[in-house]
Chains A and B, each alone.
Chain A
Amino acid sequence: MPRRTDVERILVIGSGPIVIGQACEFDYSGTQACKVLRREGFHVSLVNPNPATIMTDPGFADRTYVEPLTPGSVLRVIERERPDAVLPTLGGQTALNVAVALAESGDLERTDARLIGASLETIRRAEDRSGFRATMLEAGLDVPRADTAGTVEEGLGLGDAIGYPVIVRPSFTLGGGGSGFARDRDELRRLAARSLDASPVTEVLVEESIAGWKEFELEVMRDRADNVVVVCSIENVDPMGVHTGDSITVAPAQTLTDREYQEMRDDAIACIRAIGVETGGSNIQFAVDPRTGRRVLIEMNPRVSRSSALASKATGFPIAKIGALLAVGYTLDEIPNDITGVTPAAFEPALDYVVVKVPRFAFEKFPEADPVLTSTMKSVGEVMAIGGTFREALGKAWRSLERTGFDLGWAAADDGEPGPLSVPGERRLHHVEAALRSGATIDEVAEASGIDPWFVDQIAQVVEEAAGLEGRVVDELSETALRDAKRAGLSDRRLAALVGADERDVRARRTALGVRPVFKTVDTCAGEFPALTPYHYSTYGEEDEVRPAERPRVVILGAGPNRIGQGIEFDYACVHAAYALAEAGYEAVMVNSNPETVSTDYDTSARLYFEPLSAEDVLAVCEAERPVGVLCQMGGQTPLRLAHDLEAAGWTVLGTLPDAIDLAEDRGRFARLLQELEIPAPPHGEADGPEQARTVSELIGYPVVVRPSYVLGGRAMEIVYGPDELERFVAGAAAASPDHPVLIDRFVEGAVEIDVDAVCDGTDVFVGAVMEHIEEAGIHSGDSSCQIPPATLSEDELDEIERITATLARRLGVRGLINLQLALKDERIWVLEANPRASRTVPFVSKATGVSLARVATLVVLGRTLEDLRDEGLIPSEPRHYLHLPYASVKTPVLPFGRFPGVDTVLGPEMRSTGEVMGVDPDPGLALAKALVASGAALPSSGTVFLSVANRDKRAIVYPAKRLADLGFRLLATRGTAGVLDRAGVPVTRVEKVSEAEGAPEARSIVDLIREGSVDMVVNTPFGRGPRTDGWLIRTAASQAGIPCVTTLPGAMAALRGIEALREGPGSPRSLQELHERTRGEATVQPRLPIGSLEREVAS
């Protein structure tokens, strides 16, 4: 069947910010779909408020709306764009839920836009847990015993009937949000309550627990002619009970006979037909009882998913792209397989390698969070590795995590006490290793962990291999010994540790003996047909398949797994670098290990290497490709760490040189440089231990900021107000970055923080934008909101900022990107840090100003001058273009506190946000409001606001409180704050803190009020840290109640501005294309009502 003719204009709904359970896999899928739909001649409009995505680059859709993903906001876009069809299956759960809301409200019908890819009925049948069960049973498929409950009491009834333990899962949620296990009535009572809240339809499924069973997933595709193919099978190493997203998974499935696999395939096909997915991909999850083989369906997602992205990368079959083509009418046999070019997409990929996915966690950022893995997803990212065997792939996957001590084959000794095998956690496979090392049998380990004996045996083989090498001498290792070790998946680093040598010596010995990896091709067909796409992975085999290139090659080092502090923003920069390289006549060679990304789409670069970003693997790629240079400045901190090894091995690092990178990264050297340049910076010192730290701090004067060097995202960074606190923090910092000293800076209190992104060609400097933060310095730049154009900076201040930027960039010898963070205090500008690389804000700046910084930087790195690029119109010639924009852009972080009950939500210098959203509007207030709404912190336009602020903020809170009262809000406050407001004549009701209420049992504390839903917003600036303090109780209650909780004064001001703007009502949205068009036009107005002007009002 050919392309359908009844559709011309398509609206694609994105997935919004990166959150736990929904990461950049949807950017990969959405980007693919947008590309192919436009190639097919459709008019594509897109809604997605996530500025860091590639899909929201103006080039990928005809109309790109950076607007919140609420039904109302999407409807405004629909009313403007009038699409014939809405494609909701590419934006994860978020897009599906918005689509359901719009369909149910009748708005789609009214605007005659129809859903394609999945109908309302289909989504309901799949996502509504009870509907799903019923449909499966009708289709004759087996499911666990369960039923749905709408109230806690119903839930308890079911629990008693089914028998404990039970698992509770809310309908229409993602990443297992609000789900969990209950061992008895009391646990169920608590869990059911939480779970019902989590479900947008207050419905939960109470189900027989089959934790410990084997878990599998199939990625299935169906076309409108009812042809169905299974693209990939995935087996979870962690048994049922650990969310797939948190499980180590393997493709293809390893422990099913053909009989069982084909029966599972039959079930999957029956399932997709019964649910009624007419076209596109679905993810179907199964559990299998390892004792009897009984097989049950767990769930199906009628959309692209994390797993479908993984499956696409694992097989070379681009599910989202094919899905989009199916949605517009093609059938599988009409679509060519890009990789072979000669065969159709109507087939099932055959893998001749093994793929392993390992999740990336960030518990170190949330010490109070429970690190035990359950049915609620907790990981923030993942890595994928391809190997010739499971062990090779697993070894690479561990390396890809970029975490010291996570290599495969870690001896028990290094691993500390053998940890519990029965408790699923981040390091369980290491505990398996440890147990095996200390003599446990394969069956004992399998029994205790629930991990299939086949996988345990694979690890046992590694442990044996490692044991055999321990204590041997590197220069006596034979070729066979080394080859066996590498085939077992042991890294050079690990080998070095085993034989007590340096990693470089191991590599030298290896190469001397010719023990080198070869590169094979991912071809979808296990070698049956020649592959056109150079998509490679390394393995210790016999034959290399890398084809010679026509053009000079440049290797781009990617950013590795998403983690807090280094996310999709860096992938964005890498992808643009790849495009720019192609444009400049080079073959871009992408190296990355993150399956969720656009950079690991074989379509993005001339060549793709799916490899860990470790010295060992990157050097191997360089030897295979012999590039003219390596681009290290796009992938964040990860590639910077490799710059030295690359240089030492004789490869050219393009752009800023490793030494310049050091100069900026090494805070000591950097501080001296600033002195030399007479650029003001907070007094700085370094300390090797607590004593030294104390003296240095005395010298500098409290408060101070302590941090380890060479870290990203403010890891282990703290503000210390006195010597007593100091010791603990110094210890923490030392742990985060062992062999580097602890850094101590004077904490510039109450300063306005400023971010700058610029490009330098060695002489000339182009400032992409100066961003003014809303929160003051002290809140990590990644966790604070900021605005372009800067709202309150004077011309003189901007002059000074640009002067500093230029001076530093030149003096550092930056070729390419540089990011600065500055603090403005009493008309004085201090340099906090300089990063000679792409920054988190590069995509935001590009979208706000319409200038692609990453592209400009890449061309500069390749030798173009900024002057040329100015002449060619790639960058505006008008000075301070970022100031003269007819609209304001606001970036707001998205924090994962909802995932981690009990974690304090106070913001600080350690970054904890997983993603960000952007709001754009001529009215900065509205821009901010949009951003906040998009971030999920829906601001109340009326109701009750609770205020409780630290003494230092008491005077400043009066103004916003008064405004809120004038707007008709009811104000609650704790004693101190209430007193101040009272005296200022602001109507306020006093409420008890928990500590106060404890005495009087009948008195209801603010926490009770929040819990029972009678508070709509909380403003609480912290005094005193740590669990159980009143502040902590209030903030955690708020985040559990899902109401906005502002923890800084400027944040409160901004929220107020947002509330005011919202009450004026949102205008009609504008697409980026239109906005950028207008920036190129002349007469530009300064945005009215600049955010932050309020602070000055208050101050005066």
Chain B
Amino acid sequence: MSDALLVLEDGTSFRGRSFGAAGETFGEAVFNTGMTGYQEVLTDPSYTGQVVAMTAPHQGNYGTNAEDPESTRVRVAGFAVREASRRASSWRATRTVRDDLADAGVIGIEGIDTRRLTLRLRERGAMRCGISTLDDDVASLLRRVREQPGMQDADLAHSVTVAERYDAASVVGPADASLGPVFRVAVVDFGLKRSILRRLAAAGIEGTVVPARTPAAELIAEGFDGAFLSNGPGDPAATTYGVEAARALLGQVPVLGICLGHQLLGLALGGRTFKMKFGHRGLNQPVRDARTGRVEITSHNHGFAVDQDGWARRGDVAESPFGRVELSHWNLNDGTLEGMRCLDVPAISVQYHPEAAPGPHDSRYLFAEFRELMRA
């Protein structure tokens, strides 16, 4: 447990103890306010390139297990916490967070005032940062932090997508056939979370996961019943192949987009995306479904968003090259756009994570809606 130093690009520094791997790491510092679900967070590919600070003080309490990872390995660039438990307690625990980070070569820092870090990020916005167990000189680490590229314009999806296509069933088992016909969907992987495959299967949808750069024409030619645009890291605007795919799929097959997938769809529909000051990362964000007026408590993880004013609008309906787009979901905390429903082509998308994991299950209905789009 040697000493570790965390430095933000504005020069703010935090001294703590290292856990997990030793060494040095750089990335975009972000905070997550979830009080559960560190294992899902650590393994969510959308966090690629980010140093995640958890606001809840105790992390690692219930250890880690084989069922809960959202991908094949730990993805975060670094992990900053008030305290990493030395004892894991759960009937499901097989390992500890400390081991997982160490094995994945990911650096953790504990014993720092995570609230101070959070407030700094809230006030000045998400920042580049570095954690080092080698260099305890703030100035020199800061210099190297400032040399790092930022998230803006970063295309990270290509670095985390699958090399080879595979069947969702091989990971989450067969789709639920009890709901009627099982639909076949191309799942375009920009940094896919496993639980999305679980929810698709539960909605009677059999996914085929394909690499991010798979030409849309191929997928259409293969006669999939629908296409799913996954979550993922980086700047949507820089993920041009994703935008093209979305544009090509729209109107050809029913489309569901989540998170990055939602942003790609927004751009494909002629909208704009922008980088948020510090984004939304947590499990408690209230979102209103404009149709029902109901409030869902939702799981969030995004630093970019679709600009609600990116189109000419009549009320909540935007005019796009693909016809009318209903701006269907809204964040009640900051009024940002959280979902879209195309009225003239079969496509829906949400910025947040209806598959949860981690997070509340209020929004699972969206997978059933996707199924309906394909049934129609």
Contacts and interface: CB of A to CB of B under 8 A. Distances in A.
B115 A255 contact: no
Given A225-B293, A291-B91, A258 B68 contact: yes
Contact of A227 (B87, B294, B356, B360): B294
A624 interface: no
Contacts of B58: 254, 354, 389-390
Contacts of B116: 541-543
A292 B91 CA distance: 7
Interface in B80-136: 82-83, 85-92, 112-116, 118-119, 122
A442 B57 CA distance: 22
Nearest to A458: B87
B211 interface: no
A683 interface: no
B82 A262 contact: no
Given A265-B360, A354-B58, A541-B115, A257 B36 contact: yes
B286 A333 contact: yes
Contacts of B359: 258, 262
Contact of A258 (B57, B91, B288, B358): B358
A529 B118 CA distance: 10
Given A347-B284, A389-B57, A527 B91 contact: no
A350 B282 contact: yes
Contact of B56 (A352, A442, A530): A352
A528 B33 contact: yes
Nearest to B38: A258
Contacts of B295: 225, 227, 332-333, 346
Q: How large is the interface on A (under 10, 10 to 19, 20 to 34, 35 or more residues)?
A: 35 or more
B293 A347 contact: no
Nearest to A540: B113
B34 interface: yes
B39 interface: yes
Nearest to B39: A257
B55 A350 contact: yes
A1069 interface: no
B349 to A, nearest CB: 22
Nearest to B87: A457
A454 B115 contact: no
Contact of B61 (A454, A529, A541): A454
B40 interface: yes
Contacts of B357: 258-259
Contact of A543 (B34, B92, B113, B332): B113
Contact of B122 (A257, A266, A349, A528): A528
Interface in B143-179: none
A344 B286 contact: yes
Contacts of B293: 225
Nearest to A227: B295
Interface in B34-89: 34-37, 39-40, 55-58, 61-62, 65, 67-68, 82-83, 85-89
Contact of A452 (B67, B89, B113, B283): B89
Q: Which of B14, B86, B122, B360 has the most CB of A within 10 A?
A: B360
Contacts of A259: 67-68, 357
A908 interface: no
Given A333-B332, A389-B83, A262 B62 contact: no
Interface string A338-353: 0000111011111111
The CB with the most chain A CB atoms within 10 A, among B40, B88, B297, B361, is that of B297
B2 interface: no
A210 to B, nearest CB: 15
A247 to B, nearest CB: 18
Interface in A329-377: 332-333, 342-344, 346-354
Nearest to A457: B87
A229 interface: yes
B370 interface: no
Contacts of B286: 333, 343-344, 346-347
Contacts of A346: 286, 295, 297, 332
A388 B284 contact: no
B263 interface: no
Interface string A254-292: 111111011001100000000000000000000000111
Interface in B5-37: 14, 31, 33-37
Nearest to A455: B89
Contacts, number: 160
Contacts of A258: 34, 36-37, 39-40, 68, 283, 357-359
A736 B84 CA distance: 42
Contacts of B283: 258, 348, 350
A457 B56 contact: no
B82 A389 contact: yes
A259, A292, A453, A542: most-surrounded residue (chain B CB, <10 A): A259
Contacts of A293: 91-92
Contacts of B85: 454, 457
A520 B115 contact: yes
Given A352-B115, A389-B83, A255 B57 contact: no
B285 interface: yes
Interface string A520-557: 10000111111000000000011101000000000000
B33 A256 contact: no
B13 to A, nearest CB: 10
B333 interface: yes
A226 interface: yes
Given A457-B87, A526-B55, A352 B113 contact: no
B297 to A, nearest CB: 6
Contact of A347 (B83, B297, B361): B297
A843 interface: no
B57 A353 contact: yes
A350 B115 contact: no
Contacts of B356: 262
A255 B90 contact: yes
Contacts of A461: 86
B294 A526 contact: no
Interface string A663-689: 000000000000000000000000000
A259 B33 CA distance: 17
B284 A349 contact: yes
A524 to B, nearest CB: 9
Contacts of B68: 257-259
A836 interface: no
B61 A255 contact: yes
A49 interface: no
Given A352-B55, A526-B55, A256 B62 contact: yes
Interface in A533-587: 541-543, 545
Contact of B118 (A227, A255, A342, A526): A526
Nearest to A525: B33
Contacts of A265: 360-361
Contacts of A225: 293-295
A252 interface: yes
Given A258-B37, A454-B61, A542-B113, A350 B92 contact: no
A292 to B, nearest CB: 7
- Between B35, B86, B294, B359, the greatest number of chain A beta carbons within 10 A of the residue's beta carbon is seen for B35
25 contacts: A225-B293, A229-B297, A255-B62, A258-B40, A258-B68, A291-B91, A293-B91, A293-B92, A333-B332, A343-B332, A346-B286, A348-B360, A352-B114, A354-B57, A388-B82, A452-B89, A454-B85, A454-B89, A525-B33, A526-B118, A527-B118, A528-B282, A542-B112, A543-B113, A543-B119
Interface of B: 14, 31, 33-37, 39-40, 55-58, 61-62, 65, 67-68, 82-83, 85-92, 112-116, 118-119, 122, 282-286, 288, 293-295, 297, 332-333, 356-361
Interface of A: 225-227, 229, 233, 252-259, 261-262, 265-266, 290-293, 332-333, 342-344, 346-354, 388-390, 442, 452-454, 457, 461, 518, 520, 525-530, 541-543, 545
What are the 9 tightest A-B residue pairs by CB atom distance, in nearest-first order? A258-B37, A457-B87, A258-B358, A542-B113, A526-B55, A258-B36, A454-B89, A543-B116, A527-B118
